[in-house]
Amino acid sequence: MPTFNIQILVGMGAYLVAIIVIGLWFARRSNSNPEEFFLGKRGLGPWVAAMSAEASDMSGWLLMGLPGVAYFTGMGEAFWTAVGLFIGTWVNWQIVAKRLRSYSQVANNAITLPDFFSNRFHDKKRILMSIAAIMILVFFSIYAGAQFVTFGKLFVNVFNAENYFTVMVILGAALVMLYTLLGGFLAESTTDFIQGIMMIFALLLVLGFGFFHAGGFAGVSENLAHFPRFTDIFGIYEPGKGTGTDYSFLNILSCLAWGLGYFGMPHVLLRFMAIKKSSKIPESRFIAVTWCFISLVAAVAIGIVGRAYLPGLLTTAGDAETIFLHLAEEFFPPLLAGLVISGILAASMSSSDSYMLIASSALANDLFKGLFKKDAGEQLVMWVARITMLLVTVFGVSIALSGNQSIFRIVSYAWAGLGATFGPLILFSLFWKRTTLQGAIAGMLTGGIMVFVWKEGISKIGGAFAVYELLPSFILSGLVIFLVSLATPKPSDEIEQEFEAAKTAEF
């Protein structure tokens, strides 16, 4: 292996060792009981809650997927997607965080999202919990696969080892599983905090050097003039044709719809539930929204500057997702490049660890204990969680090796699934007292199923039906919750009293 690559590997290795050490540090404490392992006993401070929520949310998509879209087709899709995500982040922290933190504790101290839904509606048969847990297992396994693709792409492009894609996917997945298995929620939240810092550091450093080497505003503008509609937020560059075209209102609406997904992201909502005190939420919100704004702007700008600096290097959508890697290797000495590239590892690991943990909690705590073996002891639940984590890892690796190596597209599918399944129900659960168990079940099923139906069937009609599947699925789910709730008997007095108590509760 060339000396250049060895030094990059050393830089990346130093970061990975630090992450494993954190997992070992929290191992003894986090494995004491399920509440500690899955929710850290609601002990997150404002900085860790904010940074871990955003880092686990953005994933490798932020450093590879989004810059890749901007590099390949210009501002249109990337800009409006970023706008939708920023608005969704702010609204979610503004209206959902505090209510969910209080309500999850009022609802018999729920420690997972399915657990909250079940307790909120007094679902004694655990139907709602079971459906929610199954949906989490399905969509988070797909989501984890997208992060494992990132591991493979990272090593293949850095070390020019095309034949080792499979090996690197498996090694990356095994590493994340190891430290998550050891340290649970506290380990992954703490590492996510560090990884959030790494991500924003890497983004800003690469953007700054890229902008300088591309010639500043004048150089970037001059080079991009050769790509029609590239910097037009209402247009899009068509790489195959070398021409530009309008970016339609329907396309813009699809991009903005990404923001709806936040209301249903279990890995973000879990951070709301785990914040130490609800009074700390305004501070967390400011940190999270600021981080999100800077990171999204930097990610889109890297793609734009990358096109100006390396205009003809990457010719497919999949290859375009490696622009961050190329710029890092171009500008920095190898040891520093290794640390900067670790930002991608940080992004992918901060997401995949959350997906593994939440999926394992869904099966172990919600399905196994909640439905099949209600008298299961804490240690048995912990073992089921560990086995589930292994199975989710294996399934995620199979998704990563399935042949679809576009991180952006894999993420968009899972994002839509989670957003439509849980987003409308979270809003109705927290803010409409009249929501019933029957409405909740019907709405959750409608949202999850419609994502598949719309994506694989209806969208192929084209025209207005080609809109991002999250938008129609989210709307239909909300409509079903509303109509079915009105058509069924109102909730019991006890449920309504809990709803009112959650409105004013402070923890």
- Strongest mean pLDDT among 29-33, 101-105, 343-347, 369-373: 101-105
| pLDDT reported for residue 497 | 95
Q: In the 8-state DSSP scheme, what is residue 279?
A: G
Q: Which helix (H) or strand (E) holds 308?
A: helix 281-309
- Using alpha carbons, select from 98, 43, 95, 42 the residue that is nearest to residue 502: 98
Residue 485 lies in a domain: no
Residue 415 lies in a domain: no
312-332: average pLDDT: 86
Residue 278 lies in a domain: yes
**In this structure, what token pair is assigned to residue 121?**
């509606």
**How do residues 50-70 score in pLDDT, each as one tens digit?**
888 887 777 667 888 899 999
259-286: average pLDDT: 90
Residue 346 has pLDDT above 70, yes or no: no
Residue 252 has pLDDT above 90, yes or no: yes
Residue 425 lies in a domain: no
Q: 297 or 347, which is more confident? A: 297
Mapped onto helix, strand or coil, the DSSP state of residue 12 is helix
From CA 219, how far away is CA 212, in angstroms rounded?
A: 9
Residue 442 has pLDDT above 60, yes or no: yes
**In this structure, what token pair is assigned to residue 446?**
């409608």
| pLDDT reported for residue 212 | 93
pLDDT confidence band for 151 (50 / 70 / 90): confident
pLDDT confidence band for 49 (50 / 70 / 90): confident
From CA 447, how far away is CA 457, in angstroms rounded?
A: 15
Residue 178 has pLDDT above 90, yes or no: no
Q: 380 or 117, which is more confident? A: 117
Q: What is the 3-state secondary structure (H, E, C) of 223-278?
A: HHCCCCCCCCCCEEEECCCCEEEECCHHHHHHHHHHHHHHHHCHHHHHHHHHECCH
Lowest mean pLDDT among 150-154, 274-278, 380-384, 460-464: 150-154
**How do residues 209-233 score in pLDDT, each as one tens digit?**
999 999 999 999 999 999 999 999 9
408-423: average pLDDT: 85
**In this structure, what token pair is assigned to residue 417?**
């699934």
Residue 411 has pLDDT above 90, yes or no: no
Q: 156 or 247, which is more confident? A: 247
| pLDDT reported for residue 26 | 61
pLDDT confidence band for 406 (50 / 70 / 90): low
Total H helices, total E strands in the chain: 21, 2
CATH number of 247's domain:
1.20.1730.10
Q: Is 58 exposed, middle or buried (0-12, 13-18, 19+ CB in 10 A)?
A: buried
Output the DSSP codes for 114-155: HHHHHHHTT-TT-HHHHHHHHHHHHHHHHHHHHHHHHHHHHH
Q: 115 or 356, which is more confident? A: 115
Lowest mean pLDDT among 130-144, 259-273, 281-295: 130-144
Instruction: Tell me how many domains the chain contains.
Output: 1
Residue 257 lies in a domain: yes
Q: Where in the sequence is the domain holding 157, given as residue range(s)?
A: 3-29+44-112+125-403
Q: Which helix (H) or strand (E) holds 79?
A: helix 75-91
- Using alpha carbons, select from 172, 184, 163 the residue that is nearest to residue 365: 184
Mean per-residue pLDDT over the chain, rounded = 84
pLDDT confidence band for 40 (50 / 70 / 90): low
Residue 136 lies in a domain: yes
From CA 391, how far away is CA 52, in angstroms rounded?
A: 24
273 Cβ contact partners less than 8 Å away, ≥ 6 residues apart: 39, 42, 100, 101, 104, 110, 111, 116
Residue 502 lies in a domain: no
Residue 432 lies in a domain: no
Residue 80 has pLDDT above 90, yes or no: yes
- Cβ–Cβ under 8 Å, residues 168 and 151: yes
From CA 158, how far away is CA 207, in angstroms rounded?
A: 19
Residues of the chain with pLDDT > 70: what percent? Answer: 87
Q: 124 or 283, which is more confident? A: 283
